[in-house]
Amino acid sequence: MCGGAGAVLHADLTDALFDAGGQWSVRACGTNGCGTAWLDPRPTAADLGKAYETYYTHAKATPTGGAPGSEASSVPEHPRLRWDDHLFRWLRTGYLALRYHHRRDECGVVRRWLGRLLLLHPDLATRVDLQAFHLQPMPGGRFLEIGCGNGDHLATMREFGWNVQGIDADPNAVQAARQRGLPVTCGTIQQLGFAPASFDAIGMCHVIEHVDDPAEVLRACRDLLAPGGRLVLVTPNIASFGHRRYGRHWLALDPPRHLRLYTCASLRAAVRAAGFVEESVKTTVRAGRSQFLASRSIRRTGHWTWGARASLGDSLAARLLQYRAFLGLRARPESGEEIVLVARR
C-alpha cells in the first residue's frame, strides 16, 4: 500500500484448501506503519478462476439468524438446534435490540440486558455484529454487498429492514443467492451499472483481500455511496495472533486466492487514499476457533478439508486458543484474526 518492495515472508506455499496447482510466495512490507503482505506471483486474470472452481460459496446457505461462523476465510460451523443454539438465538435478539435497536420495542429490558452476555464469549457478539454488518438500522436504506457469495449476509440484512443488492463474480454463488429470491448480479463492481450515490451502505466481508486492484474498487465504492454513506470492510489481519503462531500454515494466507493481506494501518491508508473518512478500526477473534483448527491441520498434514469435523481434543484446544487470543486483545487491540473498518463517504 505504501509502494515498498517488501521481502519474502513465506516461500513455496501451495493451496491447502482447494488444490489449485502451483506454488507461491508471500511478500511483506517492512515499512513502519504499513506491513501489507501480498501474493507473489499473482495469478493472471485468465488463471484466477481456477482457484475458485470448488470454492465454499457454492455450498447451500446457512439458516438466517443461526450460529454459523462461515465467512470467506473462516470455516463453516454447522448449526445444531440444541439448547445452546436456542439460547444463542434468544440472547441474539436482546443483543440486537440493545446494540442496533432492532425490534427494540418488542424486546423487554431484561432480555436486552442479558444480551450483553454474548460479549463474554470470544466470538458470539462479533458474529451478531457481522450479521448486522456493524451498521445501525436504516428502514428503507439501500445496502450493497460486494462479494455476497450465496447470500447469507444479504438475507439477514433484508431481515433487518434494508433494501439489499448483491454482486459476486462467481456464477455458481450468484445462482445459489438467486434461488433464495435475492437480487444479485454476476460480475464486478465496475460492471454493476448503478448511478452514483445509489446506496446508503456498502459491505465487503473477506473480499478486499481477493481484489487485484483494491484502490480502484474502493474509489468505485465511494462513487456508489450517497453523501455520508458507510463502507464496512472485514478482512483477515496479517498482524494477528494466529499468523504469529502458525506462520506459513495460517489458514488466512490462503494462496492463491488472497492477493493482499492488511494490517490496521495499511487498511486505514487504503480507505483514506480513496477519499473516505475513517470512523472506526478494530480487530476481532470471530470464528477464531475454526481458523485455529484449520491452521493446526495445515501444519500437520498440509491440507484442510472445508467443513471437516474435528476431534474433541482438537476442538477443545482450538477453543482455548481462541479464548487466549480474545483475552490478548486487551493488551494488543490490533492482534485479532480479522480487521473491521467502518468509513464514511
CA torsion angle 241 242 244 246 (round to 10): 160
For 290-311, the pLDDT digits (tens) are 999 999 999 999 999 877 888 8
Under 8 Å between Cβ of 147 and 168: yes
Adjacent-strand bridge partners of 280? 342
Cis (ω within 30 of 0) for the bond into 41? yes
Judged against a pLDDT cut of 70, whether residue 247 lies above it is answered with yes
Q: Where are the beta strands (DSSP E) in 65-183?
A: 142-146, 163-168
The CA–CA distances, whole Å, from 130 to 71, 102, 226, 341 equal 10, 14, 22, 12
CA nearest neighbour of 9 among 23, 29, 34:
29
* Cis check: omega of the bond before 256, within 30 degrees of 0: yes
Cell reading at 38: 501480498
Architecture of domain 7-63+136-344 in this structure: 3-Layer(aba) Sandwich (3.40)
pLDDT digits (tens, 9 = 90+) for 110-144: 888 899 999 999 999 999 999 999 999 888 899 99
Helix axis angle for 312-328 and 288-301, nearest 10°, is 120
What are the sequence ranges of the domains in the chain?
7-63+136-344
pLDDT tens-place string over residues 261-290: 999 999 999 999 999 999 999 999 999 999
CB-based contact 127:133 (threshold 8 Å): no
Q: Which residue has better confidence, 59 or 136?
A: 136
Cell numbers given for 127: 458474529
58 grid coordinates: 457454492
42 compared with 203, residue with greater pLDDT: 203
| Confidence category of residue 55, pLDDT binned at 50, 70, 90 | low
Nearest to 302 by CA among 12, 41, 9: 12
Q: What is the mean pLDDT of the chain?
A: 88
Report residue 108 as a C-alpha cell: 423487554
What percentage of residues in the chain have a pLDDT greater than 70? 90
Q: How does residue 333 score in pLDDT terms, banded at 50, 70 and 90?
A: very high
- Per-residue confidence (pLDDT) for residue 110, from 0 to 100: 85
**pLDDT for residue 222:** 97
Please check the confidence at residue 2 and state whether its pLDDT lies above 60.
yes
